[in-house]
Structure 1
Amino acid sequence: MIIYDYKTSLSLQDCTGHFQNAFGRKAARVSTVKRWYAEFDRGHVSLHDEISEVRPSTAITEENDATVRHLIEENWHITYEEIRGRLEIGMSQIQKILHQYLKVPKLCCRWILHELTLEHKRRGVEI
């Protein structure tokens, strides 16, 4: 609505009045409409977010995923700090590998893989 009102040369006050008529108490504040008008005046009339140059992650790789999986399979009680010491990557990257890529929750102080091998099941029974 704001961009339409701006492009039809409606004043800031009239645009705010349209919002209040349409949405009542849930209408955008005058300061919000003013900020958008200022953006449009600067030439930013796109409704899409601008592409930001985010540095690609170099820590989340297939090699690191495989290494973390191997470490968990070797020792279910491994800690974040021990994984961090082996891979020398940041804690947030380790958490992403564990939770988003490997999808392993931590239960009772040990990591549980979703796909347990027969050896893991046998060791679980022995314990």
Structure 2
Amino acid sequence: MGNEYNPYYIRIRTTLGIALQAIREELVAALGPGAPAYRTVAKWVERFREGRKDVNDDVISNNPHSTYDNIVAETFLCHCIVERIIRDHLKLRKVTSRWVPHQLTAEQKEE
């Protein structure tokens, strides 16, 4: 099971009323060292118990007009980590209050 499926598994187990600790233990048994951290599982469980239905965690795709503060509030990450992820890993920058790739392709430039 890849990491992209973890939120689906956590959502199903949470919906069934399985305890956080049991969900984490199942993930560790199935994935070993590749299992998500306890805190990551706890955050997803908390979100699903609060009524969240969506398993995607991509704030920028859902709202390209989001600010750093919105992203920090939704992801529970510190500002510097959010900035580093956006700049170094996603290779995005803010242009006219919308996140766009640093290097635009010819098709993107035409848009």
Question: As a proportion of its length, which structure holds more strand?
Answer: 2
Name the TM tier (shorter chain): 0.3 to 0.5
TM-score, normalising length: structure 2:
0.47
Q: Which has the higher contact order (CA 8 A, sep 6+)?
A: 2
